[in-house]
Structure 1
């Protein structure tokens, strides 16, 4: 189905039943609605990736749900003596949990099919929400140097046996001069978007980013912070400061048809309301307060 058809279906299910749970591809586009769930647990915790534990019924009236064919690849394992099968340890699917005014994506791993001699009767799925991506995204100390500057270096230059494509980037070697200061909410938004831009530029992803920062201000008074940037991950650099400053950070799944998002323009001088033709992760950074 196209996005308009998916949105019509999902919005109707949410209106009628209060929640839609679906399987998406690794980019967040819906593939199918998940079969009825037997168990669902999705606790949230500030500054820690939320987890999803979902068990769905896969055998109903003698018919096996197509989710089994998608998530349980043939030949990747065998049933053990308990009737459990762990499969696809490199899975890149996503589970979307959609309620009224809320949409969260969970990157899945290690689905476990259980029961049944001929076909599994249930499937357990574990996942982590998109905030976990900030634990794997570097926060450059000199983001201006992270531009597309790859060049072919011959082996006798860098002692490689074969030519390799490399790029020059600057890194912090001392603490002085690598600190961002200002109101917590605005400074954290700028730092994270700078990090996204730098890595996207370096890898040629600028035209198709998969994470953006929502620049919409809360209007709440935000304390002054100093954030030392030392080429660690975003979570290591930002989360401790955000927690002390009372700034909340979460990542929501955005789909075509959702309201436009206020994002920074490529020249970094202004902001513009933007929509995309694909799913994207939107980082919400909000100062808590009155």
Structure 2
């Protein structure tokens, strides 16, 4: 059970006194501990998942730091002659960076450690939440992804030694008919949320892990036509966003934050302000100021 009030007080104090809080998160984006990175470097490029890299002490008062305990399990291997060891058990941990008006989470796909007999220094490389859109399918016919999976022991040609899980979905095999049109900001939001809904329904996930913010920006967005061809979400919408001057970003929402404006249901233009009892990634699709406005 996460004591959100206590954690928020800790984070707020760091932000007030130091301008930033950096912490380690578990697989549910819940805080584990505060960390003190060295040589901290964040990289932002529009329409690309942000990245962060830093070093961290592997020992605290002669004992492995919490970062080492969480990212490097014992007996995974040995240090080489140069004193380096690549860990492989970092799945499900993220780095959180919070400032006064922004909270970012970064997945940790890579970490290594150096030391003679035990990790003395840990190097972490991590990628931001926008990478979720780089790894989530963008169905051309999202309605066809709502059937889920079924176990199949044989098909017309062969009987399987091991039963297989299949799901019938429709793909973009026609020359046209798989295009979302409208103002770029709205069209991108529709493509992203339709895809998220389709995948989450298909997988049977009842607790959403990512949602699109539908709060209006009040800016005029140029018309766009987004061709949907069963690629991943980010490459599907990136070129439209780039040419239309729309920014696509993602940040981390925690219980206690202000409500997020979300779509009520698939195909609807109605929205509602919503909160959750768990952390969730929020995708922001926002028309930027155009020249002359």
Counterpart CA distance in 2 for 1:37 and 1:151 is: 46
Looking at structure 2, the residues matched to 81 and 110 of structure 1 have their Cα atoms a distance apart, in angstroms, of: 21
Counterparts of residues 216-231 of structure 1 (less than 5 Å): 216-231=215-230
Deviation at 1:91, TM superposition (A): 2.5
Tell me, yes or no, if the aligned pair for 2:73 and 2:89 is still in contact at 8 Å.
Answer: no
Q: Match of 2:15?
A: 14
CA positional deviation for 1:267? 5.1
Q: Which residue of 1 aligns with 2:133?
A: 134
Q: For 1:110 and 1:180, how far apart are their aligned partners in 2? A: 36
2:31 aligned residue: 30
Equivalent residues in 2 for 1:81-230 (5 A)? 81-88=81-88, 91-115=91-115, 117-157=116-156, 159-161=158-160, 162-205=162-205, 207-230=206-229
Cα shift at 1:2: 1.9
Which structure 1 segments of 5+ residues have no match? none
In the alignment, is the contact (CA less than 8 A) between 1:26 and 1:107 conserved in 2? no
Relative to structure 1, is the Cα distance of residues 60 and 195 closer, same or farther in structure 2, using a 3 angstrom cutoff?
same
CA distance in 1, matches of 2:175, 2:29: 38
Quote the offset at 1:63 in angstroms.
4.0
User: Partners of 1:74 and 1:283 in 2: how far apart?
Assistant: 37
The aligned counterpart of 1:271 is: 271
Q: CA deviation at 1:88?
A: 1.8
User: 1:48 aligns to what?
Assistant: 48
1:92–1:109: 8 Å Cα contact kept in structure 2?
no
Shift of 1:160: 4.1
Equivalent residue number for residue 39 of structure 1: 39
Q: Considering only aligned residues, what root-mean-square deviation do their CA atoms show, in Å? A: 1.7
**Is the Cα contact below 8 Å between 2:148 and 2:204 reproduced in 1?**
no
Kept in 2, the 8 Å contact 1:175–1:228? The answer is no
Does structure 1 retain, via aligned residues, the 8 Å contact 2:182–2:224? Answer: yes
Indicate the SS of the match to 1:219. Answer: coil
Partners in 1 of 2:53 and 2:109 — Cα distance? 11
1:250 Cα offset (Å): 0.6
1-structure distance, mates of 2:287, 2:157:
47
- Unaligned 5+ segments in structure 2 are none
Change (3 A) 1:50 1:75: same
Q: Distance in 2 between matches of 1:278 and 1:90?
A: 22
TM-score, normalising length: structure 2: 0.92
